Amino acid sequence: MKQLIKEIIKKTVKNLYNVEIEPQIQLPKEESYGDFASNVAFILSKTLKQKPQDIAITIADNLKNLPYFEKVEALNGFVNMKLSSAFYEELLFEFLENPINYIKDDAIFEAFGIKKEDEINLEYVSANPTGPLHLGHGRGAVIGDVLYRLFRFFDIKVDREYYINDAGNQVNLLAKSVMHYINQDLYPFPEDGYKGDYIKDIAEAFLKEHNKSDINLESVKDFAISKMMEDIKNTLKILNVEFDIYFSEKTLKDKVEKVLELLKEKNLIEEKDGAIWFKSKDEDKDRVLRKSDGSYTYFASDIAYHLDKYQRGYKKAIDLWGADHHGYIPRLKAALEALDIPQDWLSVELFQIVKLFENGQEVRMSKRTGKMLKLIDVIEDIGADNLRFMFLTKKADTPLDIDINLVKAQNSENPVFYVQYAYARTMGIKRQLKEPFVFGFYKDKYTYEEEELDLIKRILSSKDVLFEGVIKKDPSLVVKLSLDIAKSFHKFYNTHKVITSDEITTKKRISLVYATQKIFDIIFDILNIKAPEMM
């Protein structure tokens, strides 16, 4: 709705002052001020050489004459607006006629800095294939997946990508660790090697499929990486997370050499102590690209990888990283800028750690296996839908604690249950109807109760909230929207009887039930969780 109000104000300003502006529309600090507020007068003040309050009064007086508003007033230079119930109802039935078309807005492309035909690359998870996924990987996976689904809802073209770190020292350590369990007498356990039953399982699987003569670093490494990626993909599938592209670091060998050549041409590398270093202009210290033993660092591979993304034609690239990698962002961006890649091409979104609690105690070990807790253990314990929802109950940059007891509770304290139960209630009411419901009664005279009007506002706010979720790259806003609508619907349901003896009242309230069900259908599809018809 913000976009609609913005256009109304732009048109009013054009008529009054013959000036083109882009006013901001926001929610007022206090509910008593109205539904929306605008800083339009402050923007115009310098151009018109008038006080903001005087301009605000003039604009407010003109807006009062429009049928959209119940009340418009100028306060401290801001224009505060309260929409009329009739306008809200008109928008509600526009939503009911086609919910998806009501929410979608092509203004998203300009606001996001792309054109409709542009493609973006969204990379997330990208866990090293050296061990099972843990809870933190799961949070990144769900943030990425829901962000992707939010983009696709608005018809933004996006590829989901997983970067496989299948080159370098860590996968060599993985292979050497497996080789030790293939033949402990012949292959000593490597320093800083990987431990755990999964290493032994890979060793056993290798022996079943290969002869002992096949044992060498490369063959074991390829086999181990394949097994680990199979395990990772299976876990992600159970969490309902998929990818369009799996990109292998091994394929970058020539590209890394090319990067070094390009940086050398720009006089941005130097050799010292037998290694090759990137001379950063803005960073506090130089960074190694190729070590003295001739092997490349992750930094070199990451530069080459992002250059490859850029050369594939993506208008923007978005990476989701754990917050512990925050210090890595400036140096990578500095290297990309040195390669003439625009600063705003790459956006790195960080997410914080996740902790699991049960009976007030942090859970670190799996109850089933007695081993270190894996993502799959948590999914099997509380369910994929519950976990997906809980991962998004806080903004990505905020640490998250998940209470197992809360998630398993079948009551309103459990946010997942609370939202799904609201949906089930809408379906329960629809089952009570003896004949199909026909919309189109919004012109019938009716005074909305407070709970009804609040629910209408919450449903219609989905247009702004989902739009904002894309611009801010914040899928937690989708979960917050679902909780706000659920709270409003439960209050409406508990306060008012939907099917009454009065035909107009019944029609109005059934319309609200249908609208609630339809917005939940959209939300659950974006969150990629089930919408239960009965609970």
Q: Which residues pair with 73 in a beta bridge?
A: 80
* In-domain check, residue 14: yes
Q: Report if residue 319 sits inside a domain.
A: no
Give the range among 219-228, 356-365, 401-410 with minimum mean pLDDT.
356-365
Quick one: pLDDT at residue 213? 78
The β-bridge relationship of strands 275-278 and 269-272 is antiparallel
434 plus 470 within the same structural domain: yes
Band of residue 321 on the pLDDT scale cut at 50, 70, 90: very high
481: domain CATH number is 1.10.730.10
77 and 93 assigned to the same domain: no
Of the three residues 197, 215, 238, the one that is the final residue of a domain is 238
**Residue 366 pLDDT > 90, yes or no?**
no
For residues 226-234, average pLDDT: 98
pLDDT at 262: 93
Instruction: State residue 434's pLDDT score.
Output: 77
- 25 with 36: CB under 8 angstroms? yes
Does 94 lie in the same domain as 197?
Answer: no
The rounded radius of gyration (Å) of the Cα atoms in the chain is 28
The answer, yes or no, to whether residue 22 has pLDDT greater than 60, is yes
Q: Which pLDDT value is given to residue 443?
A: 63
pLDDT band at 222 (very low <50, low <70, confident <90, very high): very high
**Joined tokens for residue 492:** 């409406």
Q: What is the pLDDT of residue 442?
A: 53
- Do the domain assignments include residue 155? no
Q: Is the pLDDT of residue 381 over 60?
A: yes
pLDDT for res 445:
79
* pLDDT range class, residue 280, cuts 50, 70, 90: confident
- Say which residues have a Cβ less than 8 Å from residue 228's Cβ, sequence separation at least 6: 129, 130, 131, 174, 198, 202
Residue 427 banded pLDDT, cuts 50, 70, 90: very high
Residues 419, 522 share a domain: yes
User: Do residues 105 and 47 share a domain?
Assistant: no
Spacing of C-alpha 462 from chain mean position: 16
Do residue 420 and residue 488 come from a single domain?
Answer: yes
- Considering the domain architecture, whether residues 441 and 520 belong to the same structural domain is answered as yes
**In whole angstroms, what is the distance from residue 22 CA to residue 57 CA?**
19
78 with 94, same domain: the answer is no
Instruction: Say what the pLDDT of residue 370 is.
Output: 58
Share of the chain above pLDDT 90, in %: 83
Single out the residue of 83, 41, 139 nearest to residue 464, CA to CA.
83
Residues 390, 401: Cα–Cα separation, whole Å: 9
Does residue 368 register a pLDDT over 60?
A: no
Regarding predicted confidence, which is higher, 2 or 396?
396
458-478 in b/e burial notation, b at 16+ Cβ within 10 A?
bbbbbbbbbbebbeebbbbbb
pLDDT at 273: 86
Query: Of 428 and 212, which is predicted with more confidence?
Result: 428
- Residue 438 pLDDT more than 70? no
pLDDT tier, 61 (very low <50, low <70, confident <90, very high otherwise): very high
- Is 416 in the same domain as 515? yes
Whether 289 and 300 have beta carbons less than 8 Å apart is answered as: yes
Q: Are strands 346-351 and 287-290 parallel, antiparallel or unpaired?
A: unpaired
Tell me the C-alpha distance between 90 and 126, whole Å: 46
Do 63 and 98 share a domain, yes or no?
A: no
At residue 282, the pLDDT reads 62
Report helix, strand or coil for 425.
helix
Please report whether residue 64 resides in a domain: yes
For the segment 289-309, the average pLDDT, to the nearest whole number, is 93
Last residue of a domain, one of 216, 238, 260: 238
pLDDT tens readout for residues 163-190: 999 998 999 999 999 999 999 989 999 9
The average pLDDT across 119-132 equals 97
Q: What is the pLDDT of residue 446?
A: 86
DSSP state of 120: E
Please report whether residue 291 resides in a domain.
no
Q: If DSSP codes are grouped into helix, strand and coil, which group holds residue 83?
A: strand
Question: Is 146 inside any structural domain?
Answer: no
Structural domain span for residue 66:
2-83
Average pLDDT of 412-437? 92
pLDDT computed for residue 151 by the predictor? 98
Does pLDDT of 327 surpass 80? yes
Q: Quick one: 93 and 79 in the same domain?
A: no
Total domains in the chain come to 3
Supply the pLDDT for residue 439.
63
Q: Is residue 51 part of a domain?
A: yes
Specify the pLDDT at position 168.
Answer: 86
CATH of the domain at 71: 3.30.1360.70
Q: State the average pLDDT for the chain.
A: 93
Look at residues 205, 238, 271 and tell me which one is the last residue of a structural domain. Answer: 238
Cα(first)–Cα(last) distance of the chain, in Å? 33
Q: Quote the pLDDT of residue 444.
A: 72
The predicted pLDDT at position 534 comes to 87
Place of tokens 């829901």: 146
pLDDT at 287: 86
Same domain? For 418 and 508 the reply is yes
Q: Is residue 280 part of a domain?
A: no
Residue 319 phi/psi, 5-degree rounding, is -110, 140
User: What pLDDT, in 10s, does the model give residues 490-501?
Assistant: 999 999 999 999
Given a cut of 90, whether residue 318 has pLDDT beyond it is: yes
Picking from 359, 351, 364, 287, the residue whose alpha carbon sits closest to that of residue 322 is: 351
Cβ-based neighbour number of residue 437 at 10 Å: 12
Determine the pLDDT at residue 285: 67
pLDDT of residue 283 exceeding 60, the answer is: no
pLDDT (average), residues 258-286: 84
